[in-house]
Structure 1
């Protein structure tokens, strides 16, 4: 496998792992917004972003303060 294909495969695998870990889980963001993760996006300018059911917009994954099943999620 070429280096480019290996890098792309690694990124897509990590993205799929994050999607399966977060979609459908309750989270609290550092700004106090809370809800269930509806979707995860890979944004070339901002990295991973999430949307939360009931809130308009997308937030960086780094703003997750707490995640369902984890007391202190910290950076994901």
Structure 2
């Protein structure tokens, strides 16, 4: 059976609407959320963190950076 992941489906539906993302984060705070986006300027990273993301990883994804971000979130 195909398993769905609501966070991924949510991303497809909202297309980066930070207000909607923030509301979702407030409801599911036990789940760490890492923003993965091609928007990698400092202000983009800060906007993601201000919206409640736990971390930010820029595309194209460097697996070492992604693993480091996941490890930071898990240790919290």
Q: TM-score category by the smaller chain?
A: under 0.3
**Bigger radius of gyration among the two:** 1
Q: Larger % of helix: which? A: 2
TM-score, length-normalised on structure 1? 0.25
TM-score, length-normalised on structure 2? 0.25
Q: Larger % of strand: which? A: 1
